[in-house]
Each structure stands twice: as C-alpha cells, then as structure tokens.
Amino acid sequence: MQVRLNKLYGLFADAGIDAFYVTNPENCYYLSGFSGTAGALLLCRDKSFLLTDFRYTDQAKRESPGFKVVEVSDFYAEKLAQVLKENCISRLGCEGDHLSYNQFLILKDKLVNVDLKVTSGLVEELRLDKDNTEIKNIEEAVRLADLAFDQVLTMISPGVSEREVALQLEYSMRSMGAGGVAFNIIVASGPRSALPHGVASSRLLRKKDLVTMDFGSIYRGYHSDITRTVVLGKPEPRQKEIYSIVLEAQLRAIGAIRPGVRASDVDRAARDIIAGKGYGERFGHGTGHGLGLNIHEKPKLSINDNTILQAGMVVTVEPGIYLPDWGGVRIEDTVVVEESGCRVLTKAPKEELIILS
Ligand code: ZN
Ligand code: ZN
C-alpha cells in the first residue's frame, strides 16, 4: 500500500495539491485495503485519514492499520473541513470522475478557505500497472471462471433455459470461492446470440443453437472476464466458418500484444481479419478492455485508444461477429502484458467450436 501511496504523492506537485480526497470505493480499497462500502480517504504526504461511519470503524482499523480512522456521524464534508483545518491544508484535490455534482457543491460550500481542485484519473493511472498481488488475484478470478465453464458444459442441452445456465455458472463460481459475479451474466442462445450483451433470458435452448456465455468472477475485489460460444448438435458450415474467423481474429490480436504496442494496433489486428472476410460491419465493438478492481478499466483495445501497452497491464481480447436473426460468436480471454509479450490467463478450451448434444 505504501508503494502505491508514494506514487500518488509523487503526482501532487503537478496537480497543484497538498492533499487528496478519495471517494471512489475501488480507489479507496486500492490505496488503503479498506473494503467497506461507505468511506473516504484524506491523503496528505505525512498522514493519511480514513473517514467512515460507526458500522465500519472496527473494520477500517483492522484493514487499514496505516490510517487514522475518523468516525463520521452525519456529514462527510463537515468532518473533512474540520480535519483539513486541524492539519492546515489549503489545497485539496477531489475525484472529478466520481463525485456527483451535488456532492461537489456541498464540498465547495463547506470547505471555506480551501482551494478545491477537481482532478481526473490520478488513481486510475496508477491502477493501470498491476503488481504481482493484483495479477495473482485476477489469475484466481480467471481460474474460478474456467472451472465454472467446465462444470456448466455438463448441463447445457436442449430444453434448459439461458437463466438456468447463468445460475449454474454463478453457483459454481461462488461455491468455489468467488466473492461474486463480475457482472450480470450473459447467456445468449440461437438468434439471441446476435446480441453482444444478451443478458440471460427465459429462452429454452434448442438443437442447432449457438450459445454465447460471457461471465466472470470476483476474487478479493479483482475481476475476470471470459466468453465462450458453443453449439448444440452438429454445427452448420456457416457456424463453423464464423467461429474460425473470430478465433483467428482473437489469436491475431493476442499475438500483437506486447510492451510498446498501441492499444489501437491490437484492435486493428483483430478487425483486419474480420473485415478481410467481409464481416467488418458485424463487429461493432472494441476488441477488449482493461480490467482489475472494475470490470472495465483503461486501456480500451479500440480504434481510438493510443495508450502504449506496458508490462503489468491486464486486458481482455474479445472480438465477435453478430448476424441479426441468425446468431453470433464471441471468444474472450483475459491476458496479462509481460516483458516478453503476453500471457493468456484463461485456460478454458477454445481451439474449436465445442459441440454439445
Ligand atoms: Zn466478457
Ligand atoms: Zn469483456
């Protein structure tokens, strides 16, 4: 934690602040280890405060021993004003990406004689570069999703509903130790598989359906994200063709990932394959996204993101082709950028379209 705090303090001078008020729960957790859902950090170079209410004070002391825990009974802004005054702080940064407009107005009103500066992405920039502990947590979240996929294959058959498939995935991940699901599980079958984000419905699976499952688990706050598409019964030639194009695009994008490459170049690697086969119009989303304490983080593997990839970044690679009224295929892995290239964390099989009966 201290390494992260020191890196953040190093950004204070450029931001023109002497202290930083952190309200985003994931950023609070990242910087302090505090996992409660109500709290805020006041970070000064020589002293760090954790403001929270009675429900969490014991937990805060346990989880964040380096912080002075300040109990707030009613209003955070008033308590914050008092602590700032006691510590003679006059230039304070706040998180413009996370405070609501009303919360900002309240801070402005209560913090008299404080120069309140709105910052953007300070902690998120640090979070781009995952340390070994973070990568280990993501690996475990990936492992739980891989195991759940393996288990769910045994129950996918005609007559089972998308919702039952989603429930089984969630049950498997949670019973093996996941803290929760990374997002609302997508199970999109038959023509619904043409919906890139078709959350599981009551539709019953049928023979010949493509079934796209997009899901992930959370482990110690860190997310995983995987998509696999399977088919029920002998696949039609077109189903095999679309699957092999998506797989080729996905492998090409993974092959392009290494330090020094632009995020947009990885996107282009996948997009060129799909466009080259005539399906460019049917791949309407980015190739992937960073993930960590949030399911969507920087960088985006998209045509407009020129972030230079660095070792320690974790991204998904998830091209897809979606044909309205017919169906769709997406294949997604979680990948960590390493000095020598990248490492695919997802182990669930994808080499060919999995056929279930
Ligand atoms: Zn996904
Ligand atoms: Zn994703």
Confirm if 250 and 317 have CB atoms less than 8 A apart.
Answer: yes
Q: Which residues of 212-250 are buried (b: 16+ CB within 10 A; e: fewer)?
A: bbbbbbbbbbbbbbbbbbbbbeebeeebbebbebbbbbb
Q: How much is the pLDDT for 317? A: 98
CA of 31 to the centre of ligand 1 (A): 26
Which CATH number characterizes residue 73's domain? Answer: 3.40.350.10
Q: Note whether 177 and 29 are same-domain residues.
A: no
The residue among 191, 224, 205 whose CA lies nearest residue 292 is: 224
Cα–Cα distance between 240 and 15 in angstroms, integer?
53
Of the bound ligands, which one is closest to the alpha carbon of residue 285? 2
The domain boundary, picked from 103, 127, 151, lies at 127
Q: Note whether 115 and 8 are same-domain residues.
A: yes
Q: Which amino acid is at 45?
A: R
Residue at token pair 């796209």: 212
Q: Note whether 97 and 220 are same-domain residues.
A: no
Q: Note whether 21 and 90 are same-domain residues.
A: yes
Of the bound ligands, which one is closest to the alpha carbon of residue 228? 1
CA of 50 to the centre of ligand 2 (A): 33
Q: How much is the pLDDT for 108? A: 93
CA of 107 to the centre of ligand 1 (A): 37
Residue at token pair 């107005």: 105
Q: Note whether 119 and 142 are same-domain residues.
A: no
Cα–Cα distance between 150 and 127 in angstroms, integer?
31
Work out the number of other CB atoms within 10 angstroms of the CB of residue 329. 28
Q: How much is the pLDDT for 45? A: 87
**Tokens in use for 306?**
């020129």
The domain boundary, picked from 127, 155, 183, lies at 127
Domain tally for the chain?
Answer: 2
CA of 43 to the centre of ligand 1 (A): 34
Angle, CA of 235, 144 and 356, to the nearest 5°: 15
Of the bound ligands, which one is closest to the alpha carbon of residue 145? 1
Confirm if 331 and 63 have CB atoms less than 8 A apart.
Answer: no
Work out the number of other CB atoms within 10 angstroms of the CB of residue 157. 12
Of the bound ligands, which one is closest to the alpha carbon of residue 315? 2
Q: How much is the pLDDT for 31? A: 98
Which CATH number characterizes residue 243's domain? Answer: 3.90.230.10
**Is the N-terminal amide bond of 191 cis, ω within 30° of 0?**
no
Q: How much is the pLDDT for 293? A: 98
Q: How much is the pLDDT for 1? A: 86
Q: Note whether 79 and 176 are same-domain residues.
A: no
- Element (H or E) spanning 102, and its range? helix 101-110
Q: Note whether 123 and 136 are same-domain residues.
A: no
Spell out the per-residue pLDDT of the chain, length 357, in tens. 899 999 999 999 999 999 999 999 999 999 999 999 999 999 998 899 999 999 999 999 999 999 999 999 888 999 999 999 998 889 999 999 999 999 999 999 999 889 999 999 999 999 999 999 999 999 999 999 999 999 999 999 999 999 999 999 999 999 999 999 999 999 999 999 999 889 999 999 999 999 999 999 999 999 999 999 999 999 999 999 999 999 999 999 999 999 999 999 999 999 999 999 999 999 999 999 999 999 999 999 999 999 999 999 999 999 999 999 999 999 999 999 999 999 999 999 999 999 998
CA of 243 to the centre of ligand 2 (A): 18
Q: How much is the pLDDT for 41? A: 97
The domain boundary, picked from 127, 142, 174, lies at 127
Q: Note whether 206 and 280 are same-domain residues.
A: yes
For 355, phi then psi, to 5°, come to -105, 125
Q: How much is the pLDDT for 88? A: 85
Q: Note whether 184 and 251 are same-domain residues.
A: yes
Cα–Cα distance between 69 and 52 in angstroms, integer?
7
Q: How much is the pLDDT for 65? A: 95
Cα–Cα distance between 196 and 198 in angstroms, integer?
6
CA of 227 to the centre of ligand 2 (A): 8
Tell the burial category of 149 from Cβ atoms under 10 Å away from its Cβ (0-12, 13-18, 19+).
buried
CA of 109 to the centre of ligand 1 (A): 42
The residue among 234, 209, 161 whose CA lies nearest residue 329 is: 209
CA of 329 to the centre of ligand 1 (A): 12
**Tokens in use for 248?**
């080729």
Q: How much is the pLDDT for 165? A: 98
CA of 302 to the centre of ligand 2 (A): 12
Which residues have CB under 8 Å from 263's CB, separation 6+? 299, 300, 301, 302, 305, 306, 307, 308, 309, 315
Q: How much is the pLDDT for 46? A: 87
Q: Note whether 28 and 161 are same-domain residues.
A: no
Q: Note whether 221 and 73 are same-domain residues.
A: no
For 231, phi then psi, to 5°, come to -125, 145
Cα–Cα distance between 226 and 346 in angstroms, integer?
7
Residue-range definition of the domain harbouring residue 179: 132-356
Q: Which residues of 99-131 are buried (b: 16+ CB within 10 A; e: fewer)?
A: beeeeeebbeebbeebeeeebeebbbebbbebe
- Classified as helix, coil or strand, 181 is strand
Q: How much is the pLDDT for 357? A: 85
CA of 138 to the centre of ligand 2 (A): 14
Q: How much is the pLDDT for 292? A: 98
Q: Note whether 106 and 173 are same-domain residues.
A: no
